Amino acid sequence: MPRILIVDDEPTVLNLLNKILTVQGYKTTPASNGEKALQLLQTEKFDLLISDINMTPINGMELLSKASESYATMGVIMLTAYGTVGTAVEAMKQGAFDYITKPFKLDELILTVQRALEYTNAITENKTLKAQIEHKEQLEGIVAKAPNMCKVCDMIERVAPTNTTILVYGESGTGKELVARALHRYSPRKDKTFMAVNCAALPAQLMESEMFGHVKGAFTGASSKKIGLFEAANGGTLFLDEISTMPVDIQSKLLRVLQDKKIRKVGSSIHTDVDVRIIAASNEKLENLIEQNKFREDLYYRLSVISIDIPPLRKRPEDIPPLINHILRREIGPDAELPLIDRSAQEILENYNWPGNVRELENTIQHAITFAQDSIITKDTLPAKLVDAVEEGIRAGVITSRREQHKGKSLKAFLHDKEKEFLKRTIETVSGDKEKAAKKLGISLATLYRKLPQKK
């Protein structure tokens, strides 16, 4: 039976929570302040902590920081009054699973508690397994090796199971939609619809009826009724891409829907319940648009409860080689041998600054595959614009080429590194099959093992 520690200095709230959760079959322990809670945490084990934020002398945030030191696998839900959602968001950044605003709705409370417990359960079971898999492809389909991108994956794992609205930031082509889809896939809504809509692609006059639907005869041309995106995504996730381009009047309507969880079709007076999780994306910081009165501040606060910043590719160069492999594998099929990338091409790919990010890398690799002969990607198979940009950068001294970085090393060390790189790549081209790799290299398996670095 899951054990829940409830902390609140308002006796009515404490008793109410205690009753509700006991009826739900949980073993609850109420504590009327943070100090008592801390004492209990030292002597007993709990699966979930539900704590008010506003308490004295130890407030919810202090309790959270102290509790997370001792219990990495305990879930935490913060309770917060309506005006202090900002603090709750801060709490989530520090590891709380979710928050509930007071006064809370019964079903919302029960669902949030269930989800938090399921999640902590999964974490405990997964801990050992996860340590083994490490960072390669943390989340299915998302390549992440660089620490800043691994952080993004951690964040996705942490916030996906909640119901919270999420704002995804990133330059064009960084993977905003990929992240949004992952957030859906790792949420309890995964079996329901994921709807993506690009706000910039919808004409302003049509946007309201596209989003909320319309009744027959609502306006000239509305010859039949129409289901809006919210209804179509009911139970699932609605991804609002390029939210910054949404007209201000539609922003007001969206805000209402987020608050009331009800929509009203154009031309109708009836409000219908909808249960949709919103993930919004933008490549522009919305704060800047608020100043110019192009984005409603209240909507911004609603949407940005959690924001995920995807770093541009040039800020995570470690991701480039695994991304290239990932793209090659996808383009070429699961069983075919991957083409080799020679040094000249590798130098360009790793030194280019990728203004179009991963999408540009994808296009480049497709281009290279088309022009590659004998399954070798050379400099000549890459788009000229890329090659020129890097070579110009090296000439101007803006880019230090990898070859330059190797200067100063002894020839032996240099060759040793190159050999290691070459062996690793060859092994990757045959999907990790060392026997095949040895054959391809013309050496014995034993020699291959000897030459390989001891630990990968």
Ligand X SMILES: Nc1ncnc2c1ncn2[C@@H]1O[C@H](COP(=O)(O)OP(=O)(O)OP(=O)(O)O)[C@@H](O)[C@H]1O
**Residues interacting with Mg ion, by CB under 5 A?**
177
Interacting residue with ligand X among 177, 331, 342, 391 (CB under 6 A): 177
Q: Which residue bears the tokens 């308490």?
A: 55
Q: How far apart are CA 356 and CA 353, in angstroms?
A: 9
**Residue 77, both tokens:** 């839900």
Helices and strands in the chain, H and E counts: 20, 16
Total interface residues for ligand X by CB under 6 A: 17
359 binds ligand X (CB under 6 A): yes
Q: Please state the closest distance from residue 322 (CB atom) to ligand X, in A.
A: 8
Q: Is 237 helix (H, G, I), strand (E, B) or coil?
A: strand
* Residue with smaller CB distance to Mg ion, 47 or 171: 171
Which residues between 129 and 148 bind ligand X (CB under 6 A)? 142-144
Q: Which residue is nearest to ligand X (CB)?
A: 175
The entry of Mg ion, ligand X, none near residue 452 (CB within 5 to 8 angstroms by kind) is none
User: Which range in 58-66, 78-86, 167-175, 434-442 contacts ligand X by CB under 6 A?
Assistant: 167-175
Distance from C-alpha of 184 to C-alpha of 278, rounded to nearest angstrom: 10
Of 117 and 179, CB closest to Mg ion: 179
CB 236 within 8 A of CB 195: yes
In 213-314, which ranges are continuous DSSP H helix?
Answer: 229-232, 248-260, 286-291, 297-303
Number of CB atoms found within 10 A of residue 199's CB: 22
Q: Alpha-carbon distance 424 to 443, whole Å?
A: 14
Instruction: By CB under 6 A, name the one of 30, 34, 175, 213 that touches ligand X.
Output: 175
- Residue 144 or 280: the one with the smaller Cβ distance to Mg ion is 280
If the CB atoms of residues 51 and 282 are measured against Mg ion, the closer one turns out to be 282
Indicate whether 321 belongs to the interface with ligand X (CB under 6 A). no
Q: For ligand X, what does the binding mask look like between residues 230 and 259, x meaning CB under 6 A?
A: ------------------------------
332's tokens: 């070429």
Interatomic CA distance for residues 261 and 275, integer angstroms: 6
Among 2, 34, 173, 228, binds ligand X (CB under 6 A): 173
Q: Which helix (H) or strand (E) holds 77?
A: strand 75-81
Binding to ligand X by residue 312, rule CB under 6 A?
Answer: no
Contacts with ligand X, residue ranges (CB under 6 A) = 142-144, 170, 172-178, 283, 323, 326, 358-359, 362
